[in-house]
Amino acid sequence: MSNTFVASSDDPDQLICEGYLRKYRGLGQSQVRFFRLTLKTLYYFQEDAGEIIVQIPVADVISCIDNRDKEKKNHFKIITSSNFGRTTTANTRETILGASTDDIKTRWMSGFEEVFAWLKFKVLPRRELPVAEGMLTKHKDRRAHSKARFFVLTPTLFSYFEEDAGTFKSSVNVTDLTNLQYELHAKDFKIRSKQVMTANGSYDMTLEAESVASRNRWLMAFKKVMHIDVATSHDNFSEASQAKRKMAGGLHEQPMAGISPAPRH
């Protein structure tokens, strides 16, 4: 079976990995932030689909090394040639990032290695790269049983795992996705498939993001892989940008084939 390479000159900001990490700064201070690594840029945000705090070109990332401090398990360090922090007065060229598990740390360190290979040799990762990934709450049985799962959307597959970098649960071919329903200001959406999507044999799935903006990020990603022309999936879903799209008749205002706002009861 041949490998699918998604990165191309048509998408210089191709996603490598994204998700939450703990960022350490001075005297033990730390905050959990949402990070996004692409073949072009390293970002961190206030939260998923939130305000961009800092972004630097990946060419400014000199190295990514495992942190051997016994008190900081599952941590790694990135060294950059430019400051990677909010403040311009302090030296923020060495950044310690913490993952919640060793597998998540490995996922991120492998992602940086893929970026370094791309920058140095123009070698693309030998895997199908994601369009979006992150935690969503999976609801079932009228929301009586809900579980947070890690979801990954690529151009050909929609998959979910027990947790970030955890045990694989199930996947469905993107070509089998038939319908995506959402309400304008809700955090959740429902996706339906011609193929069984869950272990209990369900053909649809109700998923909830942490915010409306995060939900919109997923909607844009689905629309991208389903080849529906909408605003760029890298848009910042701030309140201001949502208002601009609403005025322009954008994301939420145009029902499209296979993707429509849910009927109101």
User: Does 245 have pLDDT greater than 80?
Assistant: no
**Residue 135's pLDDT is what?**
98
Let me know if 28 is exposed, middle or buried by CB neighbors in 10 A (0-12, 13-18, 19+).
exposed
Hey, how many other C-beta atoms are within 10 angstroms of the C-beta on 151?
A: 22
Give 207-259 as a 3 state SS string.
Answer: EECCCHHHHHHHHHHHHHHCCCCCCCCCCCCCHHHHHHHHHCCCCCCCCECCE
Binning pLDDT at 50, 70 and 90, where does residue 73 land?
Answer: confident
Token duo for residue 100: 């919640």
pLDDT, tens digit, for every residue of 76-131? 999 999 999 887 666 789 999 999 999 999 999 999 999 999 999 999 999 999 99
Q: Which residue has the tokens 């990603």?
A: 221
| Residue 149 phi, psi (nearest 5) | -135, 160
Can you tell me which residue has the tokens 């070509």? 175
Q: What is the mean pLDDT of the chain?
A: 83
Convert the pLDDT of each residue in 183-204 to its tens digit. 988 999 999 999 999 888 899 9
Query: What length does the chain have?
Result: 265
Quick: pLDDT tens for 207-222: 999 999 999 999 999 9
- CA 95/CA 19 separation, integer angstroms: 17
Tokens representing 159?
A: 């998959």
Could you give the count of Cα atoms lying within 13 Å of 51 in the half-sphere of its Cβ?
A: 5
Sequence letter at residue 254: Q
Task: For the chain, report the end-to-end CA distance as a whole number of angstroms.
Answer: 47
pTM of the model: 0.83
> Considering only CA atoms, which of 147, 63, 153, 72 is closest in space to residue 113?
63
- Which distant-in-sequence residues (6+ apart) come within 8 Å of 56 by Cβ? 41, 42, 80, 82, 84
Question: Domains in the chain and their CATH numbers?
Answer: 15-121 (2.30.29.30), 132-261 (2.30.29.30)
pLDDT at 59 over 80: yes
Does residue 144 carry a pLDDT above 80?
no
Read off the pLDDT of each residue in 30-36 and give the average, rounded to a whole number.
96
